[in-house]
């Protein structure tokens, strides 16, 4: 018989009420976490103070335009993220993880500002100041957007074609002995050849420069993905395959429900390697006579010694590649939840 309290309520109900009243809210950041998250804004304020305090020496009569506003915008954006991080523990953990990198990045940026604009230790045109690099972006926004669109259209077309063909050829080479006999030597012959070496060939074989460019990017994705998928399927635990066959599974069922799921880690590793190669192939592909693209823009700017534009475009490439890799990791974590707790790259 359930024990009663003095107010007539069951003991279990009263305990639940007290537990709900004691339920903790969002955990506030500890002192160590706050100090860690304050490092980047301290670096930003130090960089802004040094930039405003030190005189501009090189080149003569140069007036900075963008560097100080850039630091102010970064400081404001970081302040907003800091407020969110104080009340969202999951975001705070990730936010604090990158605080050290952000601190070093802003300190290095200010060192470059001092070495170029403030002292002239690094000379033009090869080493422009951070202000010149940022100004090359803000003053060419329409052109950069057009080049960005052209490059991304070309890049994603090649990546999709390379990923689809890489998965198909990887599964066939890894699963079928006949396909492995006929296609594996072909893969080993053309796959390791750098994209630049194919330029004279693709210019003759393909009818348009766009088709040739897509082929170079697709090839850069196809080879590592095919290699990783085929190797992983051939390395599938034979006990799993034999168990499925004993239970009456057909060959297509075993391939799609045993071999391919076992190869998923290698699929994402191959995609990671393919994305890395695709950016190099994109630069090479945009040398084939295209009239727009970030790779074309780098080539054009370097030919005119506009190294500020070169550095700013390289920075855009870095942001794009970082974003794509992060998206790939997110997809991998969602698809491979069953691997939670294992060591990952």
* Domain ranges (residues) in the chain: 31-138, 141-336
Tell me which CATH code domain 141-336 carries: 1.10.3720.10
Task: Kindly report which listed range (47-51, 101-105, 186-190, 287-291) carries the lowest average pLDDT score.
Answer: 287-291
The residue among 90, 76, 88, 94 whose CA lies nearest residue 37 is: 94
- Band (134; pLDDT cuts 50, 70, 90): very high
pLDDT at 338: 67
- Band (257; pLDDT cuts 50, 70, 90): confident
pLDDT at 26: 59
pLDDT at 310: 93
Q: Is 231 helix (H, G, I), strand (E, B) or coil?
A: helix
Q: Which residues contact 176 (CB under 8 A, 6 or more apart)?
A: none
Whether 23 has a pLDDT exceeding 50, the answer reads no
- pTM attached to this predicted model: 0.81
How far apart, in whole angstroms, are the C-alpha atoms of residue 263 and residue 77?
41
Which DSSP string do the residues of 63-129 spell out, in sequence order?
A: ---SHHHHHHHHHHHHHHHHHHHHH-HHHHHHHHHTHHHHHHHHHHHHHHHIIIIIT--SPTTTS--
Q: Which residues contact 211 (CB under 8 A, 6 or more apart)?
A: none
- Band (4; pLDDT cuts 50, 70, 90): very low
On the question of a cis peptide bond just before residue 59, with omega within 30 degrees of 0, the verdict is yes
pLDDT at 49: 95
- Band (345; pLDDT cuts 50, 70, 90): low
């Amino acid at each position: 018989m359930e024990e009663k309290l003095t107010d007539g309520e069951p003991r279990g109900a009263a305990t639940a009420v007290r537990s709900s009243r004691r339920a903790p809210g969002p955990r506030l950041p500890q002192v160590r976490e706050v100090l860690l998250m304050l490092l980047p804004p301290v670096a930003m304020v130090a960089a802004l103070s040094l930039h405003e305090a030190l005189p501009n020496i090189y080149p003569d009569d140069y007036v900075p335009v963008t560097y100080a506003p850039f630091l102010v915008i970064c400081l404001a954006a970081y302040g907003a993220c800091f407020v969110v991080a104080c009340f969202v523990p999951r975001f705070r953990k990730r936010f604090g993880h990158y605080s050290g990198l952000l601190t070093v990045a802003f300190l290095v940026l200010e060192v470059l500002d001092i070495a170029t604009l403030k002292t002239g230790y690094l000379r033009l045109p090869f080493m422009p100041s951070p202000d010149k690099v940022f100004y090359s972006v803000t003053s060419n926004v329409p052109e950069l957007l057009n080049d960005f669109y052209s490059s991304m259209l070309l890049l994603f077309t090649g990546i999709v074609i390379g990923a689809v063909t890489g998965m198909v050829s990887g599964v066939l080479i890894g699963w079928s002995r006949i396909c492995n006999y006929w296609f594996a030597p072909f893969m080993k012959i053309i796959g390791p050849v750098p994209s630049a070496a194919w330029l004279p060939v693709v210019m003759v074989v393909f009818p348009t420069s766009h088709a040739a460019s897509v082929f170079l990017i697709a090839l850069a994705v196809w080879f590592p993905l095919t290699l990783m998928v085929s190797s992983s399927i051939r390395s599938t635990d034979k006990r799993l395959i034999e168990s499925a066959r004993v239970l009456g599974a057909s060959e297509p069922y075993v391939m799609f429900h045993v071999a391919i799921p076992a190869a998923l880690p290698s699929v994402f590793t191959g995609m990671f390697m393919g994305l890395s190669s695709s950016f190099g192939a994109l630069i090479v592909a945009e040398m084939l006579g295209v009239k727009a693209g970030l790779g074309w823009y780098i080539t054009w700017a370097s030919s005119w010694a506009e190294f500020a534009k070169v550095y700013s475009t390289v920075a855009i490439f870095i942001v794009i590649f970082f974003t794509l890799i992060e998206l790939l990791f997110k997809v991998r974590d969602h698809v491979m939840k069953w691997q939670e707790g294992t060591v990952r790259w």
